Structure 1
């Protein structure tokens, strides 16, 4: 069994009034979850907070103390409500100012001095001591300080930043999974027995996921573990449980 040192965890902090109001539909959570899982990093928590300094600072301090990494999306643009960088600086107790490295990156995009407006220069304000995260799309960088990685909210830019930072991340043993069709057995029939299987296999995570196609419900059981042998044993136990219940159901008059 992998030990705790082999497990790397993360949280995602989504920042923006527009997300909470429904004005913008988040497209980053699922992408980040898939991406980190593939790397061997467990996304354990997602929080969504408004563009409010206290809310952002409190969430950052809570999450960075709890997880290996905290990724943030949103709030690093050129307008007055883009306050993420200032909040990160406050959370870490460091200063913030225009970073010459970031300014140079912006000058690559805005060759004419008059185009590099005061508002755009806001995107070059970086907490002191942070490393920059490259943004090949619009040049305005993200940054990393401690275990916090700050990225844009625009999906294509966020994805590019995630690609840029990924090689520098510590990763753990990847979680593996097996999906098992329940053969049309309803959750109410196998729920208790599935709970018993879970108790017998503490090294795995077992979930039951129903779906509805507009006409009927179908269910799928997903078994997840880091150890292949443990995973195989638990999956076999689930299959045996379903076969037994299926047989008992068929025998009933």
Structure 2
């Protein structure tokens, strides 16, 4: 029986037609993935969906059922195509309305009543029962409903919200990694590398080809939560590469 704790898992739903069209580059997923990895949370899936309520509802419901956490980014702004709050309400079967706490936060940003217009007040529409996620950049909050964290799509705002969220999460054992440059084509080491993988099942070994000038080369990335197992697998890969180089030199 393994003495490793149960994994803590997560998924991301990136919301926005501008991402799907290629007009806007998604950098939020990468930032979230790195932050989760640092605390031992396994990111299992990233989905990109349109500004369409049924699509958001389907993605959120599917992913929240099989992951510890779900993070959404995008679609909580002031315009008509910001549909995330209503979609999350629909996913959980709860109503959405102006939240007095969120309205108070917006009033800090817009003390002149004339500036807090109907569009901006849309950013205070929160599903019933949700906890707010503070936003130190522009005040308009995100929110959490059960295991779903709803954050802004603007990267600087999303990062500010994530800084608030990360301390609230369960943590796992971080994954350690090692990278080795093979100085060989991927196909030339595939069989031998497969044998090393069989001998070290608790270590994930990935091969990633790249071009080195006008030549093909390969980086080997080893990942494991067991540092001793990682060290043993790394030594085995290094020995395999050394043997292959010696054989090539002798030939």
Same fold (TM over 0.5): yes
Counterpart position of 1:192: 191
Q: For the residues of structure 2 that align with 1:214 and 1:236, how far apart are their CA atoms? A: 28
Q: How far apart are residue 159 of structure 1 and its match?
A: 0.5
Counterpart position of 1:246: 245
The TM-score, its normalising length taken from structure 2, stands at 0.97
Counterpart position of 2:169: 169
State whether structure 2 residue 82 is matched by structure 1 residue 82. Answer: yes
Q: How far apart are residue 166 of structure 1 and its match?
A: 0.8
The TM-score, its normalising length taken from structure 1, stands at 0.96
Are 1:208 and 1:220, in contact at CA under 8 Å, matched by a contact in 2?
Answer: yes
Structure 2 residue runs of 5 or longer lacking an equivalent are: none
Q: How far apart are residue 4 of structure 1 and its match?
A: 4.8
Q: For the residues of structure 2 that align with 1:23 and 1:2, how far apart are their CA atoms? A: 46
Are 2:10 and 2:42, in contact at CA under 8 Å, matched by a contact in 1?
Answer: yes
Counterpart position of 1:144: 144
Count of residues in Structure 1 that have an aligned counterpart in Structure 2: 250
- Superposed CA RMSD in Å reads 1.1
**Quick check: 139-148 or 29-38, which moved more?**
29-38
Are 1:37 and 1:43, in contact at CA under 8 Å, matched by a contact in 2?
Answer: yes
Q: How far apart are residue 195 of structure 1 and its match?
A: 1.3
Counterpart position of 1:217: 216
Are 1:2 and 1:226, in contact at CA under 8 Å, matched by a contact in 2?
Answer: no
Are 2:186 and 2:217, in contact at CA under 8 Å, matched by a contact in 1?
Answer: no
Are 1:49 and 1:55, in contact at CA under 8 Å, matched by a contact in 2?
Answer: yes
Q: For the residues of structure 1 that align with 2:169 and 2:224, how far apart are their CA atoms? A: 22
| CA deviation profile, 1:59-112 (whole Å, cap 9, x unmatched) | 001100111110110000000110001101111111111110000000000000
State whether structure 2 residue 95 is matched by structure 1 residue 91. Answer: no
**Match of 1:3, SS?**
coil
> Structure 2 matches for 1:7-86, cutoff 5 A?
7-86=7-86
